[in-house]
Amino acid sequence: MARNSKVKQEITAPVGLNLYQDEKNRTIYKHPFLKQAVYIPTYDYRTFELYRKRYILAISVFVVLFTLLNEWFGVPFWVSIAISVLVWLFLEWKFYKFLQTEQPVKKFQPKTYKDYYANFEAQGTEKIVLKTILYLLLGALIVYNSYYSNYQGLYIIASWAVLALCIAYAIFQIVVLVRVKARKNAG
């Protein structure tokens, strides 16, 4: 729909761990296990972002399937786990195949490229603080909803685990923001 529109959408480069920017502002992804780096072209940002969120997608599939299958149909929870693992394995395989189609970076030395901290700084303090607050609110609302809905057992444990992950990610965001600001003030 937006292709015929005269409004230009800003395409923002992905930011995160193992992502770098070269001097031409191209995005480079270094796979931590395969020890290879590839260029991620602008037209592949959406696909890359989808595969980057494969863990969250697999967990989301588990939550939805667990709720549907266990509550409504009485299917054991391990079926939800098995299907979620299959979804995760499929996404891992697709991500691996996706990386094989991208142009490799020859003689990649991470120290010669803009790293996570430089890319993180480009997001802006307001956006980082907003993301941190939203993660904390999300975790708190999930815990509140589990008690409000009178869930018990595994649901309560899972909701507290999600809150712990949200708090950990919020702390990570704040620590990186403080480091980036200290690095900026020092340099």
What is the pLDDT averaged over residues 116-125?
75
State yes or no: pLDDT of 7 exceeds 70.
no
- Is residue 148 domain-resident? yes
Full-model pTM: 0.73
- Is residue 116 domain-resident? no
Render pLDDT for 71-114 as a digit per residue (tens, 0 to 9). 778 888 889 899 999 999 999 999 999 999 999 998 888 888 88
What is the pLDDT averaged over residues 48-57?
91
Minimum mean pLDDT range among 33-37, 97-101, 122-126, 153-157: 122-126
> Could you give the CA distance from residue 85 to residue 78 in angstroms, rounded to a whole number?
10
- Is residue 6 domain-resident? no
- Is residue 14 domain-resident? no
- Is residue 140 domain-resident? yes
> Look-up: residue for tokens 């480079």?
28
The answer to whether residues 124 and 162 touch, using CB atoms and an 8 Å cutoff, is no
The pLDDT-based confidence of 1 (bands split at 50, 70, 90) is very low
For residue 134, the enclosing domain spans 124-187
Listed in sequence order, the residues at least 6 apart from 164 whose beta carbon sits closer than 8 Å to its beta carbon are 139
- Is residue 150 domain-resident? yes
- Is residue 79 domain-resident? no
Give the distance from CA 108 to its chain's centroid: 24
- Is residue 63 domain-resident? no
Listed in sequence order, the residues at least 6 apart from 28 whose beta carbon sits closer than 8 Å to its beta carbon are 19, 20, 21, 22, 37, 38, 39, 40, 105, 108, 113
The total of other beta-carbon atoms located within 10 Å of residue 15's CB is 15
- Count of structural domains, the chain: 1
